[in-house]
Amino acid sequence: MKIAVIGIGLIGGSLARDIRLIWDQAEIIGLDAHAGHVEQAIELGLVNREGKWEEIPQMDMVIVSVPVDKALTVVPQVLDLVNENTLVLDVGSTKQPLCEAVQHHPNRRNFLATHPIAGTEFSGPNAALQGLFEGKTNIICEVEKTAFGLQERAMELFRKLGMRIRYMDPQSHDKHIAYVSHLSHISSFMLGKTVIEKEQDERDIFDMAGSGFESTVRLAKSSPDMWTPIFGQNKVNVLATLEEYIRNLSRFRELLEADQYEALYQEMQHTNRIKEILNGIKK
């Protein structure tokens, strides 16, 4: 099997690493806007060699793992080149803009829109992890628009990666992911910004930051190159989540100002249900 990975960062690199274990005879080529990323990927054993766009028609599978704004150009370019048996996957965090961009492409049947809910705050080939996708959910959009045989190839890969599959339309995906992913990144970035602005002594931040702060601000280490386009593409949904989030913050402040500690307690106790939801407990 011949596979091309376009964009060899955390997700693309982790996929390449696991695919080499799943299909040990596969030849994986890497393409990236940063030449240094390809070199690192080769050194790390993620890909066999650097690829060329002229090789795309020969591929059995093309994985596009680039920032979501770049994907709007890259995916159609890939679809222009593929043969009828090439499966093209993207792994971006927004789905509606891309699905709309390729909806009338002659080779739309070759494309499967996916979003593996997996990752860390790190980026680049060095961030690639073996087993990153084990037990994680993979959101698939508009599966009915992908050729059945290519769907089967994708599902075989996802099963071997140990992923759970969830089907969703692009609009619903972008709405829900704004709450459970995009908002948490904004919160983390702004918490980090607040602390940096108010705590001028970096040593104080290092010495006094507990595990709660560290886990909450972890996402603030994520790449702005990746997240700025995501916020831009999902602007309407992100603004709606921010409005609700700010309303809840304002409510908390009002209760605290009014010394309404019982009401604060009730707010926090009600929110404790999140641990049951995340543990898969239904009551």
In a domain, residue 139? The reply is yes
Domain boundary among 168, 192, 207: 168
In a domain, residue 11? The reply is yes
Q: In terms of domains, do 268 and 197 share one?
A: yes
Q: In terms of domains, do 28 and 137 share one?
A: yes
Q: In terms of domains, do 201 and 248 share one?
A: yes
CATH of the domain at 265: 1.10.3660.10
- pLDDT for position 200: 64
- Low-confidence residues of the chain, pLDDT below 70? 199-211, 280-283
Q: In terms of domains, do 135 and 266 share one?
A: no
CATH of the domain at 27: 3.40.50.720
- pLDDT for position 216: 77
In a domain, residue 74? The reply is yes
Which ranges in 82-137 belong to alpha helices (H)?
96-102
Report the greatest alpha carbon distance in the chain.
Answer: 68
Which ranges in 199-272 belong to alpha helices (H)?
202-208, 211-217, 224-233, 235-257, 261-271
Q: In terms of domains, do 246 and 151 share one?
A: no
Residue 60: DSSP 8-state: S
Q: Which range of residues forms the domain containing residue 228? A: 172-278
The domain tally of the chain equals: 2
In a domain, residue 240? The reply is yes
- In this prediction the pTM is 0.88
Q: In terms of domains, do 159 and 198 share one?
A: no
State which amino acid sits at residue 49. Answer: R
In a domain, residue 27? The reply is yes
Q: In terms of domains, do 83 and 138 share one?
A: yes
In a domain, residue 140? The reply is yes
- pLDDT for position 283: 44
- pLDDT for position 211: 64
Domain boundary among 122, 149, 168: 168
Q: In terms of domains, do 98 and 34 share one?
A: yes
In a domain, residue 100? The reply is yes
Residues whose CB is less than 8 angstroms from the CB of residue 44 and which lie 6 or more positions away in sequence, other chains included: 13, 17, 125, 126, 128
Q: In terms of domains, do 140 and 190 share one?
A: no
Please say whether the beta carbons of 115 and 91 come within 8 A: yes
Q: In terms of domains, do 186 and 164 share one?
A: no
> What is the phi/psi pair of residue 149, to 5°?
-60, -35
- pLDDT for position 210: 60
Q: In terms of domains, do 151 and 32 share one?
A: yes
In a domain, residue 283? The reply is no
Q: In terms of domains, do 130 and 214 share one?
A: no
Cβ neighbours of 210 (radius 10 Å): 8
Domain boundary among 168, 191, 210: 168
